[in-house]
Structure 1
């Protein structure tokens, strides 16, 4: 599962990193070191350019865009958008079959840039209720680069709003997850699915059907994990101190 991550890069940096040609962000998002479900997040995706002026003109290829989406996918057929609160992750193993995700997997794939993500490891300590106390870990690329998480997006039409209402369409997304690779599996058995740079174009191109061959778990050693302060467990806490490594002697065991 991926339920919290960090995203601090500026839109201009993402535009350069992902070779975006069409910036659709209404305004820059503030650096967020505690991204939680229902928050607005950056997404890189590709959509078709304007239709040709005449049938004789060839169709232009999709253009790579940077957009702001809401984390928590709302399927186009949903009657209540609150369903998105439960659709923050899609399992790689079933994404091509689940009704909520299969259409998006076929034509609406995206990349969700992140600095890294958080997972909680149950320790041997217990709280007052006898439940294990969990130690948060931050997991990021070993080289310090951007983490391109595989995502899907949907566009939900609010039938209660007028056709000329700018808020009538809600853009939402979900993070694909996979089995954690060996060095991370002891922390949590699931992890976000990463898309390597040489697969970005194929993953984003809506002219390609969703191909399971594009879904390759991260190679061992590409990510590093270290304990961080429990501050991240409260979504109201937000700042670069959340991703600072916790001295091992201060980490829970």
Structure 2
């Protein structure tokens, strides 16, 4: 799964890396981004790529209660094309969720140990995401979910799932303004090779979503 991550890059680096032509309204670096909070996402509107914030936790447009989003922070990439909540989004509402590392908790004899993980040699990357717009009684929400896949060799000792991390070459293709069939979108994700990852253990300070700051990423010595 993917339940916590960081984005510490300068705004200018993000604009340059992802080819965004407009400033990011309200951008701020974050050490401990959690479900239910705003996440920086990129879509293609048919004319250009746009970066902005969505709420993490998908609320499908047909949902009665937006609280459903807390149960839909992740979507399994192997089955998303079959599920009512994600099927149409795989066709036409694909997004990038921008990050520079993510956290996962490894089970140990003494409890759960948080680990900060990132692709080797990369300061910025994108999770494959899906998004939707929910409207009801004057409330208007843009929300998203992060696709996950089976863990690769690096992740298996830590957790059996991991987020889908797009290669630089696949990022634009994932969000291109072309309607795919759900099967085509699924096939695209399944043929991607997983990234080489690296990581280090950090303090349990990060385990509380209320905590923010450099202490979250400080290595355990």
- What's the TM-score once normalised by structure 1's chain length? 0.81
- What secondary structure does 1:224 align onto? strand
- What secondary structure does 2:165 align onto? coil
Gaps of 5+ in 2: none
Is this contact kept in 2: 1:152–1:173, CA < 8 A?
yes
Q: Whole-Å Cα distance in 1 between the matches of residues 206 and 165 of structure 2?
A: 22
Which one of the candidate residues 189, 201, 213 is aligned to 2:172?
201
Aligned to 2:83: 98
Aligned to 1:128: none
Aligned to 1:45: 43
Aligned to 1:14: 14
Aligned to 1:218: 194
Aligned to 1:87: 72
Is this contact kept in 2: 1:40–1:69, CA < 8 A?
yes
Q: Whole-Å Cα distance in 2 between the matches of residues 150 and 22 of structure 1?
A: 22
- What secondary structure does 1:70 align onto? strand
Which one of the candidate residues 58, 64, 67 is aligned to 1:73?
58
Aligned to 1:238: 212
Is this contact kept in 2: 1:22–1:64, CA < 8 A?
no
Is this contact kept in 2: 1:180–1:190, CA < 8 A?
yes
Number of matched residues? 216
Instruction: Kindly report the root-mean-square deviation, in angstroms, between the aligned alpha carbons of the 2 structures.
Output: 1.4
- What secondary structure does 1:96 align onto? helix
By how many angstroms is 1:217 displaced? 4.2
Is this contact kept in 2: 1:76–1:156, CA < 8 A?
yes
Runs of 4+ with deviation above 6 angstroms: none
